[in-house]
A and B are shown apart, each in its own frame.
Chain A
């Protein structure tokens, strides 16, 4: 039995899935209102509801997607962070300062990983002392090109903790080192990611502990808990404790994975999750969801947090209908609930009620609200409703077109990619979320593509959460001139011979991925680990080849453990 919970903006959705009969059955599902001031209570309430119908001893796993970290950041409930930086020449790092206790130190490492300038120990010490005076307990140490050589970040961490131990430390509760966040090159993003990872660390860990405790209290102490990540994978709860930033924006990922579980997506497709206030748009290329190339932005800070490529627009069932001249518009504002649910202002859902596309709540209330609004703008109510639905469909269609265009114009770096470059051309539209069924025909009219609304479309996100596989990715960087191999996210360094090749690197990357997941208690079938990027460059001095510069990226492809598609 697998449980999935998605703590959303309005509702917390939960499902229990039974996988015993070689297929996936929904054993129980529920929606409870989300209590923003007490997310744990919402989780507990959802759990209690679904557990009423299932045998607790058979529950193996709980996958949880929560807005906790996102909310903490949005609402400013984050902790002060001491940020120590070794940047060297380039863009002035002060441009990227995210917090008060920000200390730029005089160290520098270059793109090959050579230490150009050592970090002055006394300067590091002064920076740490200054943070202590401000009662800082969580720190981030971030260096430019630390993914090639983490020496400065390690030194900063040792100075912060004033100890050699990797785990226990009296002087700081938590330290994030930039290179552990992944091997991607992008110093400002590394800074921001490390900062946010620290800023939400305490609130996230308190929640994680509370979830574990309430599971024990419910007799579910044996259950393996995974947290959803924004890239459409999960991470084990224990691993997530040092990587809370990865749980940010996992909501859209849950619904996208829901589609993967519910539908047999094989073509290039568009996925629409039409909710109350927003529509999330995702694109699948050849059946697989696309991932943001660098990472998502938190507020105005781009980060290294890998995420599915999802675009949100302010059009949903509760979006208010407004008029500008003759133009009928839907969203992005929300002026209370729909008229059919007791609101005053007509919404998209009211329009759908009026045209007979759905029958939600008090259909007459929808009609009255629309008629009144239409009269104020001297337009027949039926026409207004029709125009409103058209406007919503057009907005979604337009945003989808832009997203696909963006994807197809992304830069490439080899002649082969450019000339043989695959373009994404959607052939199918999948729609989930509350108004999915009601808008199905309208979407078809607009997209002129086969449009499918799967069964269970209302709790697709919780199903997606429940079935999402554990993923991990790593970058391997090898320099045969310096005889070094480095996997930043694992802090793994090894000496390599001059003869080390790209094939060795591919093998090492996949093996390290499998070993790391194994340490986290996750068994990975070797064929699920894939190499996504691999390149090798001869390095030449004068006219002699002196070595090779090798880069390999490998990952467990985001996906689900089972699908419900027939």
Chain B
């Protein structure tokens, strides 16, 4: 009988009764064949592997992370709450020591959902990893967390949420944004002035195969993880780098994904994208599950896989080698933050770091204009405020008092809310007070 080295909890929630639309890539059928494959392989009978049902996230779990306008209920469906609840269950299993590792194979995904939410972007409404991580911090205290996003698309939502957080390391490996949605994720994006180098983007050229992908992980990601010493490693386990994925151009195989996972050694993995639902997902998920459990995955491969066909050319290899040489410096030795007027990363004006963002919600067709202000503070992470207006909502305001807030920032946060109500022209105002665990919204 096959045994696993590590105990693994799998939260499998295919949401067989929810879809964006009947023919959308993110639909009911997406995890159907994965389920067939995992069952047929007898994965859930393996000693050490157990299947769990998801929790259902509360609205408060969402409010802890996002500014949802006009309110969370209008941007999340029950399916999103279950998907986030699946991630939370995965975290709970590991945090309580019931399992060594866990993998939330849930849908819909979440890594394109940013701090402010007006609707759905890139099939994502709420960021299920962030909801999970903040749930962990709320229940188990401050934690240093590393998120390694291996989805083929840049994890722009997760990057946005943790832009100013020095305790969260966000590394995204993705197909170069010049060739794929959402068109972002370049090395120049390094995190805000108080979290420089905590965001690291690794844009890989189209047609990168296992070789190049694993090289980037080995030479860039692993040394940084080693140095950061996170309490938890989270894998945003998107699976659309697969050679057969219909909406991307990468050439990674099931073996590549399984090896990636065993190198990364994540405590928790959360499924993100991956739309080759017949030819890839069943094998990828099987490979990842086996790798996470520390079990033999050497026989897992796609039926049509021929390594020679997907071998990357020498130019690609050379290009990735260059990336491996330079990119680690962004973490180990980030250049000082350029907060001048001409910087695209935002400007520093007095004690504030200000960014203007124009965001397009491709799934829902919403446009948003946002001004994000971080009040720089020497004593804590700093107070965050987001002023936002979209084609869905009039001017709104979100204010976040961080978990580690100093008394001055806390006071300033309340002052901002008070001013907004009395003087501001905001239709909706939301307060996230992580220090006192207080989540409030005004305006109906």
With A91-B300, A302-B45 given, is the CB distance from A415 to B82 under 8 Å? yes
The answer to the question of A410 belonging to the interface, with a C-beta cut-off of 8 Å to chain B, is: yes
With A95-B2, A538-B23 given, is the CB distance from A414 to B299 under 8 Å? no
- The answer on a CB contact under 8 Å between B29 and A537 is yes
- The answer on a CB contact under 8 Å between B18 and A415 is yes
- The answer on a CB contact under 8 Å between A90 and B286 is yes
The answer to the question of A60 belonging to the interface, with a C-beta cut-off of 8 Å to chain B, is: no
- The answer on a CB contact under 8 Å between A538 and B22 is yes
Q: Which residues of chain A in 262-321 are interfacial with respect to chain B, using CB atoms and an 8 Å cutoff?
A: 294, 300-302
Contacts of A217 in B (CB 8 A): none
- The answer on a CB contact under 8 Å between A419 and B286 is no
- The answer on a CB contact under 8 Å between A96 and B1 is yes
The answer to the question of A108 belonging to the interface, with a C-beta cut-off of 8 Å to chain B, is: yes
- Alpha-carbon distance between A537 and B208 when the two chains are bound, in angstroms: 33
- The answer on a CB contact under 8 Å between B27 and A95 is no
The answer to the question of B371 belonging to the interface, with a C-beta cut-off of 8 Å to chain A, is: no
Which of the segments A109-117, A160-168, A324-332, A502-510 contacts the partner chain?
A: A109-117
Contacts of A411 in B (CB 8 A): 12-13, 51-53
Contact for A418 among B33, B42, B53, B302, CB less than 8 A: B53
With A91-B2, A117-B303, A413-B13 given, is the CB distance from A187 to B41 under 8 Å? yes
Contact for A89 among B16, B82, B283, CB less than 8 A: B283
- The answer on a CB contact under 8 Å between B45 and A189 is yes
- The answer on a CB contact under 8 Å between B39 and A185 is yes
Contact for A294 among B2, B45, B298, B303, CB less than 8 A: B45
- Alpha-carbon distance between A543 and B79 when the two chains are bound, in angstroms: 23
Task: Give chain B's interface residues, CB within 8 Å of chain A.
Answer: 1-2, 12-18, 22-23, 27-29, 32-33, 35-37, 39-43, 45, 51-54, 56, 78-79, 82, 246, 278, 282-283, 286, 290, 296, 298-304
Question: Of all chain A residues, which has the CB nearest B33?
Answer: A111
With A187-B41, A300-B1 given, is the CB distance from A545 to B22 under 8 Å? yes
Q: Mark A539-551, 1 if CB is under 8 A from B, else 0.
A: 1101111000100
| Seed contacts A413-B15, A538-B27; 20 additional CB < 8 Å A-B pairs | A89-B300, A90-B299, A91-B290, A91-B299, A96-B1, A111-B278, A145-B40, A187-B42, A411-B13, A411-B51, A413-B14, A414-B16, A415-B15, A415-B78, A418-B13, A419-B82, A537-B29, A538-B29, A539-B29, A540-B27
Contacts of B302 in A (CB 8 A): 89
- Alpha-carbon distance between A294 and B44 when the two chains are bound, in angstroms: 10
Task: Give chain A's interface residues, CB within 8 Å of chain B.
Answer: 88-92, 95-96, 108, 110-112, 116-117, 144-145, 185-189, 294, 300-302, 409-416, 418-419, 535, 537-540, 542-545, 549
Question: Of all chain A residues, which has the CB nearest B1?
Answer: A300
With A411-B53, A538-B27, A540-B29 given, is the CB distance from A92 to B299 under 8 Å? yes
Distance in angstroms from A306 CB to nearest chain B CB is 15
With A537-B32, A545-B22 given, is the CB distance from A410 to B40 under 8 Å? no
- Alpha-carbon distance between A294 and B300 when the two chains are bound, in angstroms: 24
- Alpha-carbon distance between A195 and B204 when the two chains are bound, in angstroms: 49
- The answer on a CB contact under 8 Å between B42 and A88 is no
Distance in angstroms from A258 CB to nearest chain B CB is 31
- Alpha-carbon distance between A463 and B2 when the two chains are bound, in angstroms: 41
Distance in angstroms from B78 CB to nearest chain A CB is 5
Contacts of B2 in A (CB 8 A): 91, 95-96
Distance in angstroms from B353 CB to nearest chain A CB is 40
Contacts of B300 in A (CB 8 A): 89-91
- Alpha-carbon distance between A269 and B331 when the two chains are bound, in angstroms: 60
- Alpha-carbon distance between A304 and B36 when the two chains are bound, in angstroms: 16
- The answer on a CB contact under 8 Å between A543 and B40 is no
Question: Of all chain A residues, which has the CB nearest B278?
Answer: A112
Contacts of B53 in A (CB 8 A): 409-412, 418
Contacts of A549 in B (CB 8 A): 29, 32
Closest 8 CB pairs of A and B: A188-B42, A116-B303, A95-B2, A185-B39, A185-B40, A92-B299, A414-B17, A111-B36
Distance in angstroms from B24 CB to nearest chain A CB is 8
Distance in angstroms from B229 CB to nearest chain A CB is 34
- The answer on a CB contact under 8 Å between B23 and A544 is yes
- Alpha-carbon distance between A544 and B24 when the two chains are bound, in angstroms: 10
Contact for B1 among A89, A95, A409, CB less than 8 A: A95
- Alpha-carbon distance between A103 and B324 when the two chains are bound, in angstroms: 46
